[in-house]
């Protein structure tokens, strides 16, 4: 379906740029979003998909003292999350806890259980330990990476270690490797830096211009996806970083973010701004590839300053046997351009950390446009069945 409309919506009161899946909520499909208002008191919205899957409902609305630029949910406690916020030209980061009886209170207040206050430059994001119950988290500012230890009972967060990215590099974000908890990737304008948290030293890098965002494939080791201003999406094998193994072309303007699916191997969401929209799909090509070698993508495009679209992509990823083949050495980067679906009823642009897969129901994803509108979208029946059965 091209140019289609699908999904259900929810409206925040103010403008917003960040949304996250509540991974620790195993009973509900939940998301948490924060607003970005200059003049009004900002808000954090706890949003859940109804049991029938027909609407998004607000389960909690909480005041937040400052503009929220980044938000991340704790992977082991659904009531805990972190924010990066600004007040004027100053930036801060904190860890918050939703009150236990929030559903029974008229005006529940968030409880600050930790302040990440060691930063000396503009904070960009926070990263939680990838899975399970662990007290470690990372914060990244423009100059340095910090490893913290959180004690929620004592309401303290202590710096365990810290390292600078170097005078010539300005960090913009990062991702924690779910397959190697000692490894973190950070993004700069001109490269991706890989860090060993045991030594807080850089171990490797990808030199690629204007990288905005990275994410690890949660099901396949050694696979990293990068979003870049001019060249779109690249997929890398961490064992051989000289060239990307795959390129998703067709992005005529910058790409903002990538999100790998938490359950299905190789499925990603791609957020991009563009002045043009190109559609292409080869069903016979898609049907001849097993599920493990495929990627779905999602691209939000901005057309002529008024319309946005969400596109569903399908691309084949080389198998492990291909990584060592002579053909990969001779032609290291493969270019593919298939498109499955397009959704075009956004009324404002989609920026930054505005994509989130549902960990509980990984065929559902949420997007957030700048006007505060949350959209939860589903794979349509045919697409969802094809994921479950590659021969569909």
Domain enclosing residue 67, as ranges: 8-275+307-316+337-378
Question: Mean pLDDT, to the nearest integer, of 364-384?
Answer: 78
In a domain? residue 113: yes
Q: State how far the Cα of 110 lies from the Cα of 185, in Å rounded to an integer.
A: 31
Q: State how far the Cα of 214 lies from the Cα of 86, in Å rounded to an integer.
A: 23
Residue 264 burial by Cβ neighbours in a 10 Å radius (0-12, 13-18, 19+)? buried
pLDDT tens profile 14-73 = 999 999 999 999 999 999 999 999 989 999 999 999 999 899 999 999 999 999 999 999
Nearest to 47 by CA among 77, 64, 80, 25: 25
Q: What is the pTM of this model?
A: 0.86
Give the chain's domain count.
1
In a domain? residue 232: yes
In a domain? residue 89: yes
Residues 297-307 as b/e (b if ≥16 CB within 10 A, e otherwise) read bbbbbbeeeee
Q: State how far the Cα of 265 lies from the Cα of 119, in Å rounded to an integer.
A: 36
The dihedral of CA 287, 288, 290, 296: what is its sign? negative
What is the DSSP code (8-state) at residue 251? -
Nearest to 214 by CA among 131, 142, 127: 127
In a domain? residue 3: no
Q: Which residue has the higher pLDDT, 8 or 103?
A: 8
Phi–psi pair at 136, nearest 5 degrees: -95, 145
Q: Do residues 162 and 144 lie in contact, with contact meaning Cβ atoms separated by under 8 Å? A: yes
In a domain? residue 323: no
Angle at 260 between CA 256 and CA 263, to 5 degrees: 160
Instruction: Indicate if the pLDDT at residue 7 is higher than 70.
Output: no
pLDDT tens profile 223-242 = 999 988 776 788 899 999 99
Q: Looking at residue 141, which CATH number applies to its domain?
A: 2.130.10.10
Give the pLDDT band of residue 380 (cuts 50, 70, 90): low
Per cent of the chain over pLDDT 70 is 71
In a domain? residue 388: no
Average pLDDT, the chain: 80
Question: Mean pLDDT, to the nearest integer, of 306-316?
Answer: 55
In a domain? residue 328: no
In a domain? residue 324: no
Question: Mean pLDDT, to the nearest integer, of 251-263?
Answer: 77
Angle at 25 between CA 128 and CA 186, to 5 degrees: 20
Give the pLDDT band of residue 302 (cuts 50, 70, 90): very low
Q: Which residue has the higher pLDDT, 153 or 276?
A: 153
């Amino acid at each position: 379906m091209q140019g289609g409309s699908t999904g259900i919506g929810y409206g925040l009161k103010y403008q917003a740029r960040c949304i996250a899946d509540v991974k620790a909520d195993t009973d509900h499909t939940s998301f948490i979003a924060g607003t970005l208002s200059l003049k009004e008191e900002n808000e954090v919205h706890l949003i859940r998909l109804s049991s029938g899957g027909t609407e998004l409902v607000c389960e909690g609305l909480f005041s937040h003292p400052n503009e929220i630029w980044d938000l991340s949910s704790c992977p082991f406690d659904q009531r805990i999350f972190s924010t990066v916020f600004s007040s004027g030209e100053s930036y801060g980061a904190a860890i918050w806890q939703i009150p236990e009886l929030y559903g029974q209170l008229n005006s529940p207040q968030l409880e600050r259980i930790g302040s990440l206050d060691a930063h000396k430059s503009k904070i960009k994001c926070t990263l939680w330990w990838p899975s399970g119950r662990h007290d470690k988290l990372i914060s990244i500012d423009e100059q340095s990476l910090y490893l913290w230890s959180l004690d929620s009972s004592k309401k303290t967060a202590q710096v365990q270690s810290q390292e600078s990215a170097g005078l010539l590099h300005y960090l913009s974000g990062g991702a924690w490797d779910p397959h190697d908890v000692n490894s973190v990737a950070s993004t700069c304008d001109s490269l991706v830096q890989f860090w060993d948290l045991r030594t807080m030293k850089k171990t490797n890098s990808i030199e690629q211009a204007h990288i905005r965002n990275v994410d690890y494939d949660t099901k396949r080791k050694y696979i990293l996806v990068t979003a870049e201003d001019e060249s779109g999406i690249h997929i890398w094998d961490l064992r051989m970083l000289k060239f990307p193994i795959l390129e998703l072309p067709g992005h005529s303007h910058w790409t903002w973010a990538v999100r790998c699916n938490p359950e299905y191997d190789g499925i990603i969401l791609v957020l991009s701004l563009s002045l043009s929209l190109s559609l292409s799909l080869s069903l016979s090509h898609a049907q001849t590839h097993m599920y493990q070698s495929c990627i779905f993508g999602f691209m939000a495009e901005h057309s002529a300053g008024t319309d946005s679209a969400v596109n569903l992509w399908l691309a084949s990823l080389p198998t492990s046997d291909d990584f060592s083949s002579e053909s990969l050495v001779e032609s290291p980067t493969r270019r593919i351009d298939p498109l499955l679906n397009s959704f075009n009823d956004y009324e404002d642009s989609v920026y930054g950390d505005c994509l989130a897969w549902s960990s509980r129901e990984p065929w559902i994803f949420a997007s957030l446009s700048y006007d505060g509108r949350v959209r939860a979208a589903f794979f349509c029946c045919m697409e969802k069945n094809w994921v479950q059965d590659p021969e569909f």
